[in-house]
Amino acid sequence: MTRSIDLIRASRLPSNMMQFAAKGALSVPPDENLEILVYLAKHNPVFGPLARMTLAGWDEKASLAAASDPKTAREVLDYLVSPENLRPKLLPALLENPSVSEGELVKFAISASPEGIAALLQSARVRASTGILGSLRSNPYLKADQATVVVELLKAGKTPASVSATGKAAHAHDDEAMATKAGEPVHEAEAAAGDEAGEVPEETVTAYLAEHAPEIAAEQDKPFQPVGGIVDLLGADYFPVLENKPMTEIDGTAEKAAAAASAAAVAAKRKPAAGVNAAPAHRDNAMQKINRLDVKGRIQLALKGNKEERSLLIRDGTKVVALAVLEAPKLSDGEVERFALQKNVLEAVLRQIPLKRRFMKNYIVVRNLVSNPRTPLDLGLGLMKHLLTQDLKNISANKEISETVRKLALKMYKQKLDAANKK
């Protein structure tokens, strides 16, 4: 017997039946109903919006059963765990479901809410995965004590050289899926290689420098001063490694941290004294490289550099530098998703993102901008109309966001629920 989902995929159901399907009203088993709704939500432009609203209000007990069952269709699990659709009460079950790909969890960890971070750190699967933990470490909502836990887990979970090729192959499919969907390669070596692929035309740099010549001239000698300070930018664990000292020996102020980075950069440039064998050449890290550059040099690096350099320069306190990152030809959607959620960037960066049509086609970017407490009020209110029902509900309960935004989100959430119930 042909299943309803197969008829829908083949576009063989009449319009009135498709309407029933998008409301979850077909007489089919619960698991098939969910599969139908997710298929319509993702692939049907006509009935997709209604299906998404139905899914947002789907029975919690039935949703939890699907989230816990390894036999649930992969497309359904991927939909349930995606940041734009996630219902918080389903997260613990999804995290432990072996059929939820690690790639999807890596993607989720990048922009998880504070509640999501807490659930991630309680998951045995997450605590044992260096891939998910590495992604979680980049989350701007991660608190200092949580960051410490993540660092300790990463140190404890470093993969030994004796890991079998079979074990690596087991995750190959998930890694590939994550790289394709999130734009974020898993392995550092692969990320570096992919990021350097292709040269940025010199004309791109020249055009930006010419367009912003007055601003560059006015700020030419301004040093790199990241929004939030150096320690906030790099993390407390960075400087002990840089100086090869325990953290207790380093003052935590931004000024002394910056001095430490500058001192390391100077030391790296010193030539050995006569008669002393020279040490092997040492490549400066991104922070040391940026510290030596003036405004024009940092703009060129923002346009032509790699992902790590862009992640530092987007937080530059000099506006013309930070905005140059958004013009970088190699900038990925995954990077912009994180920028939209960061609190330690200039307001000008958050205002510039929606002006790029490419960025605004990405739903996660829009949702992250509205969810960001640093996003200007007028911008957040204007973008809210694009959000799904569940995200409106989540934002209405987020106390980090302006009360005005929360109230409007709650109002819009109730309106969409009422509209869905009337159909």
Q: How does pLDDT run across 101-122, given as a tens digit for each residue? A: 888 888 888 778 888 899 999 9
DSSP 258-273: HHHHHHHHHHHHPPPP
Q: How confident is the model at residue 234 (pLDDT cuts 50, 70, 90)?
A: low
Angstrom distance (rounded) from CA 132 to CA 103 = 8
Average the pLDDT over 278-284 and give the result. 44
Of 282, 310, 284, 285, the closest CA to residue 298 belongs to 310
Please report, in angstroms and rounded to a whole number, the separation of the first and last CA atoms in the chain. 30
Q: Which two structure tokens, joined as six digits, stand for 365? A: 């970017």
Q: Is the pLDDT of residue 207 over 60?
A: yes
Provide the sign of the torsion angle of the four alpha carbons 177, 179, 180, 181, taken in this order. positive
Phi, psi of 23 (to 5 degrees): -95, 0
Provide the sign of the torsion angle of the four alpha carbons 271, 272, 275, 277, taken in this order. negative
- In terms of C-beta distances under 8 Å and separation of at least 24 residues, what long-range contacts does 41-48 make, across chains too? 41/79, 42/75, 42/79, 44/18, 46/18, 47/18, 47/19, 47/21, 47/22, 48/22
Residue type (1 letter), 37: L
Q: Is the pLDDT of residue 2 over 70?
A: no
Angstrom distance (rounded) from CA 350 to CA 379 = 9
Check residues 120 and 13 and name the one with the higher pLDDT: 120
Angstrom distance (rounded) from CA 170 to CA 157 = 17
pLDDT digits (tens, 9 = 90+) for 314-325: 999 999 999 999
| pLDDT computed for residue 229 by the predictor | 64
| pLDDT computed for residue 149 by the predictor | 92
Pick the range with the lowest mean pLDDT from 38-52, 124-138, 217-231, 258-272. Answer: 258-272
Largest interatomic CA distance in the chain = 88
Query: pTM value?
Result: 0.47
Check residues 353 and 241 and name the one with the higher pLDDT: 353
Q: 419: Cβ–Cβ under 8 A, 6 or more apart, which residues?
A: 53
Highest mean pLDDT among 4-13, 133-142, 237-246, 370-379: 370-379
User: What's the whole-number average pLDDT of the chain?
Assistant: 78
Q: How confident is the model at residue 93 (pLDDT cuts 50, 70, 90)?
A: very high
Phi, psi of 245 (to 5 degrees): -130, 155
Check residues 173 and 300 and name the one with the higher pLDDT: 300
| pLDDT computed for residue 10 by the predictor | 86
Are 368 and 340 in contact by the 8 Å Cβ rule? The answer is: yes
| pLDDT computed for residue 271 by the predictor | 45
Q: How confident is the model at residue 373 (pLDDT cuts 50, 70, 90)?
A: very high
Percent of the chain having pLDDT more than 70?
A: 76
Q: Which two structure tokens, joined as six digits, stand for 257? A: 């941290």
| pLDDT computed for residue 228 by the predictor | 74
Of 99, 112, 106, 160, the closest CA to residue 129 belongs to 106
